[in-house]
Chains A and B, each alone.
Chain A
Amino acid sequence: MMRWLLLLLGGALLGGVVHLATIMILPRTATHDAYARISPIAPVNTVVALPAPTPDRELMPFMDPAFADAVCRYDLSKGPLKLTVPVSLAYTSVSFYTRYDVAFYAINDRAAGRRTVDLDLMTAEQHNDMPEEEDVTAADRLIVESPTTTGLIVIRALATEPGLMPLTRNTLAGAQCRPVPPSQASR
């Protein structure tokens, strides 16, 4: 009897380990996470408009229907990326997500304080490789470090009423993300 109780206790303890392990591993094995849903429609290092959510079809659950969304699926393995987002009428935000859908940075139009949000996205390593003097001259440039080589940039613009949605989508169509050409990388 005692023996079975001990086995039960041991099993339960081992179960705790199994539980923690599965929770930790899950994001890396998920085949239907946001990144996987977006990948088929979003070529690498290009801004693509996301289809507006409708009752029958939506790319991801809990998308805000008042917003026009665009996404840039980035890959920094070949070098840093430059992002330019024109600011729309009401509210524009740019959120950065790692390959595993963790939000690591976000900025909105007011924080950017200009008519466009301009920034450079790079890995910590690429940032360290930047020449010292450039860091100084680039003081007005916003540099964002990505913890992963790949991930998602989600650009969102609010249409304060449904009638403004076409205009908002139009403004968002001017957003660009493109790799910095190697010749310019050290300029």
Chain B
Amino acid sequence: MRLLFGSLFAFMVAALVGLGATYFALTRGAAFGALTLGSWTAFPKSGTIDADPYARASLARTGRLPTSLGDGVFFAAKTDDSGRVLDGRCDVVISGVTPAARFWTLTLYSPDGALIANSVNRYGFTSQEIVRRADGSFEIVVAPRAYPGNWLPTGGVDHYSLVLRLYDSAVGVSTKAGREAPMPAIKTTSCP
């Protein structure tokens, strides 16, 4: 009897610890080899045949196809540079330059990866349609109300994610943070 209760207890602990850890790892989207530049994070290795088991499990669960590293790199940001969660009711300014790439796109998504409805049907920008300053740098205003220039509407949602994809770029597994990969800054300028 003692043996039965004992093993039942051990199995319950095992199920709790094991499934709990799996759930935690998948909802947090954990994977190895994160490349963090400012508030942007990419997992370049997830887009290769060497993707680790956590990356594979997370992809299978979300139903997403990873951006292949031979195609481009997928950087996501959930917060601004001061660590504040991106809020669709605030005005957020993305400014600076991107690492060298043939093309890039910047897209706004809900946290689970859906596009967000807005009055002008604009979900993002490509590197070709952006208005730039003379030195090549740009400024994009992410805000619920219209702005002149590069305006990316938020639709007034609570939280959103920004995704910057660099296509045909040298940024990858061996990239280190710093001068070779300057990412645009994200700043919350005003909040109601």
Contact = CB atoms under 8 A, between A and B. Distances in A.
Interface of A: 3-4, 7-8, 10-24, 26-27, 30, 32-34, 36-37, 53-56, 58, 60-62, 64-67, 90-91, 93, 95-97, 100-108, 110, 147, 152, 154, 156, 158-162
A15 B16 contact: yes
15 contacts: A14-B11, A21-B18, A23-B57, A30-B60, A53-B114, A55-B117, A58-B115, A61-B63, A61-B112, A93-B72, A103-B49, A105-B70, A106-B71, A108-B70, A160-B126
A103 B15 contact: no
- The size bracket of the interface on B is 35 or more
B147 to A, nearest CB: 19
Contacts of B62: 61
B138 interface: no
A91 B168 contact: yes
Interface string B1-36: 000001101111111111111100110000000000
B93 interface: no
A53 B19 CA distance: 33
Contacts of A27: 56-57, 59-60
B53 A24 contact: yes
A18 B9 contact: no
Contacts, number: 205
Contact of B56 (A58, A62, A100, A162): A100
B98 to A, nearest CB: 15
B124 A66 contact: yes
Contacts of B7: 7
A55 B116 contact: yes
A37 B122 CA distance: 25
Contact of B49 (A90, A147, A160): A147
Nearest to B167: A91
B99 interface: no
A90 B128 contact: yes
Given A64-B165, A147-B49, A15 B102 contact: no
Contact of A91 (B21, B61, B103, B112): B103
Contact of B9 (A7, A67, A161): A7
B14 A14 contact: yes
B14 A104 contact: no
Contacts of A24: 53, 57
B126 A106 contact: no
Contact of A102 (B49, B71, B116, B167): B49
Contacts of B63: 32-34, 36-37, 60-61
Contacts of A32: 63
A110 B168 contact: yes
